[in-house]
Amino acid sequence: MSPAAWQSVRLVAGSQGAWFACVLGAANETPWVGVVVTAAWAAAWVVGRGRRRADLAFLSYVGALGYLVDSIIVSVGAFGFPDAAHLGGPSPLWMVALWVGFGTTLRTLGPLLPLPWAAMALGAVAGPLAYSGGVALGAAHFGADTVTSRVVIGAAWAVAMPLLVALERRVR
């Protein structure tokens, strides 16, 4: 495996490890676990890249966008959390950590999404799938109408993904 391919595998593995820590922590009434694991992963990612100021700013922007997007999704009733999974709100801190963890993979995904419509399509499909995984593991729940919830989440991610990719390119 080439060094570049190996780097991509490490990025995806680290991000997915952080995702599982966040979701399983929330599902098991310890939402702070995922925040701690993601903070450690993000710190290792930032230190390993050597562009600390730019990378910290980038991950901060990703986390802020994630908080905004998820707070809107929660506010319209498309998604919610069991009481034990709350750590902040309306979007809990562990959900913001999920976005930060995802932000570490955008260097790998960015070149695969050269056109905004490709990023929109990926967001529209992958966003609801990721949220469905969290629901299946017990960390969250969809609103009363699951189909509408998935459509709202897909639309939010269809808007967010091109913004994230453009932000990553600007930082790069």
Nearest to 35 by CA among 111, 106, 88: 88
Q: Render each residue's pLDDT in the chain as its tens digit; 172 residues.
A: 787 777 777 877 888 999 999 999 999 999 999 999 999 999 998 987 778 888 999 999 999 999 999 999 999 999 999 887 776 778 999 999 999 999 998 877 766 677 888 899 999 999 999 999 999 999 999 999 999 999 999 999 999 999 998 888 887 7
Contact 38, 153 (CB under 8 A): no
Enumerate the β-bridge partners of residue 80: 141
